[in-house]
Structures are given as structure tokens and as C-alpha cells.
Amino acid sequence: MIENCSLYLPIEKPPLKKLFPNGKFDGGFFKKPTMFKYETRDGMVKLNLQQDDLECHLQGFCAYVARLPSSGESRSKAQELIKRTKSVLGVFLPCPVDPDSDAFRSLVHIIATFNGFMFVVDSVMLPDGSILVGPTLKEENTDEKPTAELKEINPDNFRHSGETTGVDPSRIEMRERHYCLLAERAFICARWLPLYRTESGVDELRPVEEIAARFLALCSLFLWVSAPEDVAPTNLLKEFYNHNNLDRHLTMSENAIVLMAREDARESHHNTIGWYLENMWALAWILGFEPEPPFYQGQLPDEVIQRMIGEFFPGFTTNITEFIAAIHPRSAIEVGQLEDLYYCTHNAVRQAQLGDNSVPTYFHPVADGGAIHERRHSLTWALSPGTEWEDTDLST
């Protein structure tokens, strides 16, 4: 669990109210603010705005980095980032949090927006979740890849150890198959995880119209921030967004991005908008897109992005009804099977984020683990009829 960290930014007075409109500074007309606080689903996060003798602090930090285990190139890059720092925000968390928490993700949003970095667990972490230098850095130049040869395992060592009373034997068989699939790829999850996550024990898919609308809404959001004008003209994108009432299928914070001037949206969110592509991949798969997002692969490759946006996305002249008529959505059973696999993978990822050796060496617990979190979010939401996106139960 993460108990403390600090944010290093290359600007003197970051406009925090722009990111958190409901946040509050202390101080007043005659008093310089020393603290900014804002609410998250994990509680109140407080940012200390004071930094005594910043120059001396940064010099000491550079000396510390020089002693950390990493390549010379990584150390040099970290020291350059430190030297361009103009403000340091000390973080007071409401409680120890994990990297998947709303509180921690809000901090990542800050460093991504202002092109800074975080010092956490004695390491320098970049906005994409990768560790530049520090004791948590994975060994460099590993030869192991996602396509590495599967490990030979004994299925008898991966039997379900949790409660099975009244459980359909096929459900137990599916779960044990998933335990084995993970173990073959060097992912290790708890083997007592609940076999059902609904009282009925039945996988029920929410209406395909909602899934399709969420996918198209996220496509619009992504294009609004990341696509150039000649690829996604503003007038066509706005017309598509409004004609299909896509605002109903985005959260309040997501809609706020679309309501921003496009250049402002790009400047503020270009570093973090890519996470939505992981949500979109899982949603697109549910709607019939290939390939299936593999549980052992981190952030999605460019070729998937190109196919999903360039081919599967129907274009700006299509409405939701026409889009649904042209696709072949998967069944609740198919979605339930993949969701269960991601449920188990998510558990392995969270254990790795807490320091356990539960993922393969090529797989970064934060950067790649974030992709698992986002895909699992889409899959679990799709199997949670009537539940709002932000209320989706992502516990493991």
C-alpha cells in the first residue's frame, strides 16, 4: 500500500482548481495559500504547497538519484527532470491506498497534466506509471516477452480452495482453468476468490444499446482530445456526439472534458486519455471486435488502436441504431468467461502492486497493471445492469 509520495512539477503555481473545481485552498486575501485539498472516493487528499529552500532540496534529490540502481541513461533523465522542477507538492493521503485507488489515480492525473513526475516508494515514477529509477525498478533488458514459452504446471496444484457449496461444477471448472491459464503465464492469484459476484450466480449482460453507446461515447472523448482536425473535424465530432446523446453515457468528469475548448482539452488530458483505449478495447470486443484483449498483455498495441478507431468505429454519419445493426455482439456467457479471467488477473496485479512476485518479469505492475484494471472495468460494468460506471464493483 502507498502511504506517502510527492509530486514534482515544472511550473511554479499549478492551476489545481482547473483539475479539481470543487477543491479548496486555505489562506485568504492577505495570506498566501499553503494547502490545497480535494475529495476523492477514498477520502480527502491534501497537497502541501510550501517547499522550504527548494534549490537545496533538489540538489540533494539529484545526489540521491545518482546512487539508485538503474542505467546511467535513466539516472541522467531523472536528474534532468529534477533540475527543471519549479514546485514540489507534498501529499497527505486519507489512508494507505493502492495504485488502483481513486486517490492515487488523481495524483497521476496531476503529474500527467503538468508533465511532472512522482516520487513514490523511494522511486521516480513517470505519468505512464513506469519507474525511471529506484529500488522498485524491474530488471532491465529482460528477454522474457508476453509471447514467451508457457510454463509447465500441474493442474492439481491450482484447485479452487474457497467455498463451493451449491456452486455449479462447471463454474468451478472454469475458475480452475483460469487459475491454470494465469499460472502458465507466471501470474499467480488467490485461489479462494468468490466464484460468483452476484446473488443470482448468473451472468447477465446489460442492454447492448448501453454498451454500444458507451463505446461510441469514449471514442468521441478520445478523438476530441487526441485526434487532429483533419482526422476528426470539430463540427462533425460535435454533431455526432450531440445527435447520439452521448453525454448520457459519459461520467460528469468525462463530459467536462468534451465541454472544454478542444485545444485546452488536448493540453490538459493528452497524457492520460490513452487509458480510455483500454476501456474501449474490452467494450469493442463485447460488441464483436477482434482480437480478444489478452490478459497477459499490458498496454494495447498501435495496430489494435488503428483497427478499433479506423475500422470498427462506424464514422461520424452513423447513429447508434445503425451501428448495432451492423455488429455481432457476444453472449453473456462469453463475456462472463473473459470477465472472470480478468477478475483473477486483476487480483494478481494488485498483489504485485503491493510487492508480491505475482506477475511475470516483463509485466509492469502499475503501467501494464493499469491496462488490466481498465479492461476489467469495462467487462465488469457490462455484466452489472443498472450500475453506473463509477459505481462498478472492482474489488478482488
DSSP letters spanning 267-310: HHHTTTTTHHHHHHHHHHHHTT-SS---TT--SPPHHHHHHIII
Q: Tell me, yes or no, whether 128 and 154 share the same domain.
A: no
**Looking at residue 62, what is its pLDDT?**
84
Cβ neighbours, 10 Å, residue 75:
19
pLDDT digits (tens, 9 = 90+) for 113-170: 899 999 988 889 998 888 888 876 654 444 444 555 688 999 999 999 999 999 999 9
Average the pLDDT over 306-322 and give the result: 94
Q: Tell me, yes or no, whether 203 and 344 share the same domain.
A: yes
Which H or E run contains 351? helix 332-353
Q: Tell me, yes or no, whether 82 and 184 share the same domain.
A: no
Instruction: Locate 138 and state its grid cell.
Output: 524491474
Q: Tell me, yes or no, whether 294 and 367 share the same domain.
A: yes
Q: Tell me, yes or no, whether 111 and 194 share the same domain.
A: no
Q: E strands, 180-258, where?
A: none
Average the pLDDT over 22-47 and give the result: 86
Taking phi first (over 0 means left), then psi (-120 to 50 degrees means alpha), and beta for anything else, what does residue 63 get? alpha
Q: What does the alpha-carbon distance between residue 164 and residue 240 come to, in Å, rounded to a whole number? A: 48
Q: Tell me, yes or no, whether 220 and 338 share the same domain.
A: yes
Q: What does the alpha-carbon distance between residue 329 and residue 145 come to, in Å, rounded to a whole number? A: 31
Q: Indicate if the alpha-carbon torsion angle 366, 369, 375, 379 is positive or negative.
A: negative
The answer to whether the CB of 237 falls within 8 A of the CB of 365 is no
CB-based contacts of 113, cutoff 8 Å, min separation 6: 19, 268, 269, 271, 272
How much of the chain exceeds pLDDT 90, in percent?
62
Q: Tell me, yes or no, whether 270 and 396 share the same domain.
A: yes
The pLDDT-based confidence of 186 (bands split at 50, 70, 90) is: very high
Among 133, 166, 201, give the residue marking a domain's end.
133
**DSSP structure string for 28-61:** BTTB---EEEEEETTEEEEEE---TTHHHHHHHH
Q: Chain-centre distance of CA 15, in angstroms?
A: 23
Q: Tell me, yes or no, whether 114 and 7 share the same domain.
A: yes
* pTM for this entry: 0.74
CB-based contacts of 102, cutoff 8 Å, min separation 6: 40, 41, 42
Among 74, 107, 133, give the residue marking a domain's end.
133
Average the pLDDT over 75-99 and give the result: 90
Which range marks the domain in which residue 310 is found? 142-396
Identify the three-state secondary structure at position 346. helix
Q: Tell me, yes or no, whether 165 and 125 share the same domain.
A: no
pLDDT digits (tens, 9 = 90+) for 345-370: 999 999 988 888 999 988 988 888 99
The pLDDT-based confidence of 316 (bands split at 50, 70, 90) is: very high
Q: Tell me, yes or no, whether 308 and 350 share the same domain.
A: yes
Q: Tell me, yes or no, whether 112 and 154 share the same domain.
A: no
From residue 116, alpha-carbon distances to 6, 10, 81, 88, 241 in Å are 11, 6, 8, 10, 32
Number of domain units in the chain: 2
The answer to whether the CB of 58 falls within 8 A of the CB of 85 is yes
Q: What does the alpha-carbon distance between residue 270 and residue 387 come to, in Å, rounded to a whole number? A: 28
